[in-house]
Amino acid sequence: MQDEKTNIEPEVSEEAIEWEEAETTTRSDLISCAYYAYSAVEDIDLTLVSKIEANKIRRIKRQSLDIIAEVIGEMHAEIFDLGEED
């Protein structure tokens, strides 16, 4: 009977783990990742790559700028809208 001890641990799904990691992503992390993505493709000459690759590079640049703009917008709203609530 003693040899048949069961290990009782709560099961954690992969979805729960991914969600927890997503919640711990800071604004600084988001801006940094977007900046690094943009920087990685910034100097690629679009005339030297295929049309499909050029479109991917344009999309990365656009999405990176969108992320940066969104996060900066949220931070700006929090900082400057606090005074208007009083």
Taking the C-alpha atoms of residue 84 and residue 58, their distance in angstroms, rounded to an integer, is 38
Q: How many domains are there within the chain? A: 1
**Confidence grade of residue 85 (pLDDT, cut at 50, 70, 90):** low
Position 30 in a domain? yes
Q: What is the pLDDT of residue 37?
A: 97
Position 6 in a domain? no
| Per-residue model confidence as pLDDT tens digits over 19-74 | 665 567 899 999 999 999 999 999 999 999 999 999 999 999 999 999 999 999 99
pLDDT at 86 over 80: no
Position 75 in a domain? yes
Q: What is the pLDDT of residue 43?
A: 95
Position 72 in a domain? yes
Full-prediction pTM beyond 0.85? no
Position 77 in a domain? yes
Q: Please report, for residues 5, 7, 12, 48, the alpha-carbon distance to residue 34 in angstroms, rounded to integers and kept in the order given.
A: 49, 43, 30, 24
Position 5 in a domain? no
Q: What is the pLDDT of residue 42?
A: 96
